[in-house]
Amino acid sequence: MNPSHSALAGLLVVIAPLTAAEPTSFEKDRAAILAMAGEFQVSFHFQETVPLQKDYTPTEKPYDESAFETVKLVEDEGTRITLQHLLQVGPTVVKHWAQTWTYEDSSILEFEGHHHWTVRQLDPETVRGTWTQKVTQIDDAPRYEGFAAWVHQGDSSTWTATAHRPKPRREKDRDDYDILFVTNRHTVTTNGWFHEQDNAKWRVRDGRQAPLCREAGLNTYRRIEGHDFAKANTYWQKTENFWKQVRDTWDQLVPPSGTIEVSPSSDLGRRFDVIGSLSEEAEDGEMPAAEEIRKSVASFLKITSEPSP
């Protein structure tokens, strides 16, 4: 062997172990999801655009709000990650939505309208390499789910999926539509992330569906430093264990198949009030018993149909 070749071979042996391996797609996916946690200045913008009924005129005034939000990493089991959003507006802390990401999830809840969700089974090949995003309401009740693969390009990562969603709280009093057909796009960048929405508002009446209008949405999460999130942090320290029990209870009570109804009220009262009252007890240092949490959650959930044999 040529001496120079021998020396080069020895050099390669020394250098090779020092070369960092390229992150796998799974590792990049996880990094993108985890990057959605942190402290942010947020803005919410929604504007109706295209009328889809001849007698409908889109609202001219857009919905615009801004606030500060801290997003907590509350669960990381590798293939399952949960992030909890906490809004802080002045002295007020609002437990906002939560998002749970699950790798290659073969079951999702699909909103059907009028407080009903159906468990939809997915083929393992269909979900290979994908992540399900399950979004829950402020009391951790189901809201919507979608699944897709992350796409990583340059300094950004993007996840785009469709979902059926209930009306947002900002329009809870409207009675001219019942369901949102949505394309959600989450893009994570080096200084925060963006949630773009292409929404279609649909009426669902007597088994018939008809589109009302389209709406464009853009929620921005710009990473910040120095904002005082002490109140939000204190609230979460006091209630984190309670909300974990609530999340776990919903997961346990929702069946693996069939259709469910999640009612806004029961004999115990309005759902937000009942679960909110229990959270106040936890915040005051009086942790509600697990059986009381389960009884409260169960009072709002009913299985309305079993799967076909």
Q: Tell me the pLDDT tens digit for each residue of 226-264.
A: 999 999 999 999 999 999 999 999 999 999 999 999 999
The domains of the chain are located at 21-228
Is pLDDT at 7 greater than 50 in this prediction?
no
Residue-level pLDDT at 304: 85
Is pLDDT at 127 greater than 90 in this prediction?
yes
Residue-level pLDDT at 19: 53
- Where residue 20 falls among pLDDT bands split at 50, 70, 90? low
CA 303 vs CA 32, 258, 263: distances in Å: 35, 7, 11
Is pLDDT at 177 greater than 60 in this prediction?
yes
- Among 129-138, 156-165, 166-175, 210-219, where is mean pLDDT lowest? 166-175
Give the percent of the chain with pLDDT over 70.
92
Please tell me the distance from the alpha carbon of residue 35 to that of residue 155, in angstroms, as a whole number: 12
Is pLDDT at 16 greater than 80 in this prediction?
no
Please tell me the distance from the alpha carbon of residue 118 to that of residue 30, in angstroms, as a whole number: 28
Q: Show Cβ contacts of residue 19 under 8 Å, excluding neighbours closer than 6 positions.
A: none
In terms of Cα–Cα distance, which of 188, 227, 278, 184 is closest to 87? Answer: 227
- Where residue 307 falls among pLDDT bands split at 50, 70, 90? low
Please tell me the distance from the alpha carbon of residue 42 to that of residue 122, in angstroms, as a whole number: 34
Q: Tell me the pLDDT tens digit for each residue of 279-295.
A: 999 999 999 999 999 99
- CA 300-258-136 angle, to 5 degrees, is 50
For residue 132, the one-letter residue type is T
Q: Which residue has the higher pLDDT, 309 or 123?
A: 123
Dihedral Cα 122, 124, 126, 132, nearest 10 deg: 70
**Mean pLDDT across 136-156:** 97
Is pLDDT at 197 greater than 60 in this prediction?
yes
Residue-level pLDDT at 4: 46
| Alpha carbon 38 to chain centroid, angstroms | 15
Q: 193 φ, ψ to 5°?
A: -155, 165
Looking at every residue in the chain, the average pLDDT score rounds to: 92
Residue-level pLDDT at 285: 96
Give the percent of the chain with pLDDT over 90.
87
Is pLDDT at 54 greater than 80 in this prediction?
yes
| Alpha carbon 32 to chain centroid, angstroms | 14
Residue-level pLDDT at 205: 86
Q: Tell me the pLDDT tens digit for each residue of 22-52.
A: 889 999 999 999 999 999 999 999 999 999 9
23-31 contact pairs (CB < 8 A, 24+): 25/129, 25/150, 25/152, 26/103, 28/150, 28/152, 28/157, 29/103, 29/131, 29/150, 29/157, 30/78, 30/81, 31/157
Measured from the Cβ of residue 125, the count of other Cβ atoms closer than 10 Å reads 6
Residue-level pLDDT at 9: 46
The H or E element that residue 185 is part of is strand 179-189
**Mean pLDDT across 168-194:** 95
Is pLDDT at 18 greater than 90 in this prediction?
no
Measured from the Cβ of residue 261, the count of other Cβ atoms closer than 10 Å reads 15
Measured from the Cβ of residue 241, the count of other Cβ atoms closer than 10 Å reads 10
For helices 271-283 and 230-253, the axis angle rounded to 10 degrees is: 130
- Where residue 6 falls among pLDDT bands split at 50, 70, 90? very low
**Mean pLDDT across 265-291:** 97
Please tell me the distance from the alpha carbon of residue 65 to that of residue 45, in angstroms, as a whole number: 7
pTM (two decimals): 0.90
Is pLDDT at 93 greater than 50 in this prediction?
yes
